[in-house]
Amino acid sequence: MSRSRDAVHEILRRSESFRSAQDIFTEMRSDGAKIGLTTVYRALQALNDDGRVDVLRTDEGEAVYRACASDLHHHHLVCRRCGRTEEVAGPDVERWAEAIAAEHGFADITHTVEVFGTCASCTGR
Amino acid sequence: MSRSRDAVHEILRRSESFRSAQDIFTEMRSDGAKIGLTTVYRALQALNDDGRVDVLRTDEGEAVYRACASDLHHHHLVCRRCGRTEEVAGPDVERWAEAIAAEHGFADITHTVEVFGTCASCTGR
DNA sequence: ACAGTTTTGACAACCGTTTTCATTTTCCTT
DNA sequence: AAGGAAAATGAAAACGGTTGTCAAAACTGT
Ligand SMILES: [Mn+2]
Ligand SMILES: [Mn+2]
Ligand SMILES: [Zn+2]
Ligand SMILES: [Zn+2]
C-alpha cells in the first residue's frame, strides 16, 4: 500500500481542520484523481494504524481525520463553527488521568480528551 | 412521553455499565415488554436531553448510554474488559480545559474526557 | 515476458440511527 | 361518559457512514 495512501496523507497535511473520508474523496475526485472511496477508507485506516493521523468521532458519529502535527501525545481544541483545530499538550490532564485511574485500581490506561469551543475569528461574527 | 421513557430509564438504573439502544431493546422484549426499537431510541434521546443519562460513542461509533449517578458534571472511567464504569469528578480537568481554551482565544467551551483502562478485578485474570 | 503478489475501485452488504406514517393511547373539555 | 385534539407508539422504510466482495489493474522480482 503506498500510492494512494500518500495521496490521502498529503491532502490531510494540507488541511487546516479535521476532514471526513467522504470529504477527502470528493476533493480528490474533483481534482481529477482516479481513486475509490474504499481506497480512501483503507488509506485512512492504515495511516491511523501507523500513528500518522488522528481520528475522532463527531457527535453525529462520523469519523474525522487529521494529520498529526506533532508525533507526541496531544489533544485537540476544535472550533465547532469553522472546524479550526489546535493541537494542545496537556501534562496536567495526563497526570489527572493517571491519578484518577490508579485511585480506582484501573491499569493500562488510555484516555480521550477533546475540547470544543468557538474560535476567536468565529466569535466576532 | 412517559410510559416507555420511564421503563428505559429503569433498565439503565439497574445496569452496571453502558448499554446500547439495541441491547436495551432486546432485554425489554425478552422480558415481555411490547416496545419498539424506535421508542427506545426516542426515550434515550429525551433522557439525554433532560440530562438524566450520559451518552458516549464507542470506538466503533455505537452510542452507549448510562444513567447518571450524579447530577453534577462528571467524567467516566471505563473498564475496556468488562465495561464497569466509575463516575469521576475532575476539577483539575475543568480548569485545564478552560485555561487552554482561553489561551487560544476559544469561547463557549465544552469538553469530553473519558478514561479507559482495565479494572482491578479484570487485571487479576 | 512471466508468474505471483499487492493494490485498487465499483458495487453490494452492513449496521446503527432517523424518518415516516398510520394506529393507539393519553389528556382535556363538554 | 363521550368526543376530539394532542401526544406517543411501533413496523417498516429510508438514510448515512463504513466495511466486505471480487474481478481487474498495477506492481514485484525473476
Ligand atoms: Mn493530532
Ligand atoms: Mn455519568
Ligand atoms: Zn472557528
Ligand atoms: Zn473490568
Rounded to 5°, angle at Cα A36 from A32 and A38: 155
Asked if residue B62 and residue B42 are part of one domain, the reply reads: yes
Asked if residue B62 and residue B12 are part of one domain, the reply reads: yes
Asked if residue B84 and residue B61 are part of one domain, the reply reads: no
Q: How confident is the model at residue A117 (pLDDT cuts 50, 70, 90)?
A: confident
List the single best residue of B79, B100, B108, B119 to mutate versus A (max A Cβ within 10 A). B100
Q: State the average pLDDT over residues A4-22.
A: 94
From ligand 1's centre to the CA of A79, what distance in Å? Answer: 14
Q: Nucleotide C25: nearest residue by CA–C1'?
A: B3
Asked if residue A79 and residue A40 are part of one domain, the reply reads: no
**What is the number of alpha carbons within 13 Å of residue B122 lying toward its C-beta?**
16
CA distance linking residue B102 with residue A117, whole number of Å: 10
Asked if residue B98 and residue B82 are part of one domain, the reply reads: yes
Could you read off the pLDDT tens digit of each residue along chain B, which spans 125 residues? 678 999 999 999 999 889 999 999 999 999 999 999 999 999 999 999 988 998 988 888 899 999 987 777 888 888 877 778 888 887 888 899 999 999 999 998 888 888 888 889 888 75
Asked if residue A17 and residue A63 are part of one domain, the reply reads: yes
CA distance linking residue B10 with residue B84, whole number of Å: 18
The pTM assigned to this predicted structure is: 0.81
Domain boundary pick from B35, B67, B99: B67
Domain boundary pick from B67, B90, B111: B67
B39: containing domain: 1-67
Asked if residue B59 and residue B4 are part of one domain, the reply reads: yes
CATH of the domain at A12: 1.10.10.10
Which residue's entry shows cell 448499554? B19
The total of structural domains in chain A comes to 2
Asked if residue B104 and residue B63 are part of one domain, the reply reads: no
CATH of the domain at B79: 3.30.1490.190
